[in-house]
A = this chain, B = another copy of it.
Amino acid sequence: MSGKIYEKEHQIKYYECDTKQKMTISMLINIMLHVSGEQSYSLGVGDEVVAEKGLAWIILQYEVEVERMPAFYESIKITTQANSYNKLFCYRAFKVYDSQGNLCVSVNSTFALMNVQERKMARVPAELIAPYESEFSKKLIRMPKPVKVDEEKMTSKEYQVRYLDIDSNCHVNNSKYIEWAMDTLDLEFLTTHEIETMTIKFEKEVHYGQLIQSEISSTKNQENGIVTAHRILTEGVTNCEASIVWKVTA
């Protein structure tokens, strides 16, 4: 894999952690994205440069693998690297290490550029991608698809999109979809299970004031682990699909 590596230290705060004092996946994703934003800025292709071309980065998918979720007050190192790209997609990897250098979390992501006016995906211009020194490869990387929600066993909860769900990018913050998905699970489950892997695919943006449905169904995988399938919908349209493989908290 080619691509410049950018890294950043981060100290985990109490409000980034759940009741088990482990960092929440939604906060981790927030911080990862901040780090990739910093890399872009440092390479002279920050969001404002992208915006001048009428474009904006969007995230299509995250593949998350958790070895050990870091805990309150730990200092972690987050690295990011734009590995490769093709006409439409950019593939970026994130890694989270603890202070001993152990890999804690690994994330593969797919980014694309959107033409802000037309609300359509745009080709990746050479001058925006060159500074990352990532490899051009025609080959599309097939990311695993999230497990589908089982319509017959599905339950759902409603959430109204709030003002503070929208961040400085003027979009519903990506991490909110994860919060709506996870909140369909009960307290007992969430305090006794941890995320092992998560696949999340963003299909269509949710907007302020919309009422979203967060659907969930649960199944088991071959190793007898619990897998939850999630779908976020507004007015019958799928905005986001995700699936999570869980492990019992040690």
Contact = CB atoms under 8 A, between A and B. Distances in A.
Interface of A: 13-15, 17-21, 24, 26, 30-31, 33-34, 37, 41, 72-73, 162-164, 166-170, 173, 175, 179, 182-183, 185, 187, 190, 208-209
A164 B182 contact: yes
A20 B167 CA distance: 9
Given A15-B173, A173-B15, A175-B15, A183 B162 contact: yes
Contacts of A31: 13
B167 A17 contact: yes
A167 B30 contact: no
A212 to B, nearest CB: 13
25 contacts: A13-B30, A13-B31, A13-B34, A14-B33, A14-B37, A14-B168, A14-B169, A15-B34, A15-B167, A15-B168, A15-B175, A17-B167, A17-B168, A18-B164, A18-B166, A18-B167, A18-B168, A19-B166, A19-B168, A72-B168, A163-B187, A163-B190, A164-B182, A164-B183, A187-B208
A185 B164 CA distance: 11
A87 to B, nearest CB: 27
Nearest to A158: B160
**Interface core residue of A31, A33, A164 (most chain B CB under 10 Å):** A164
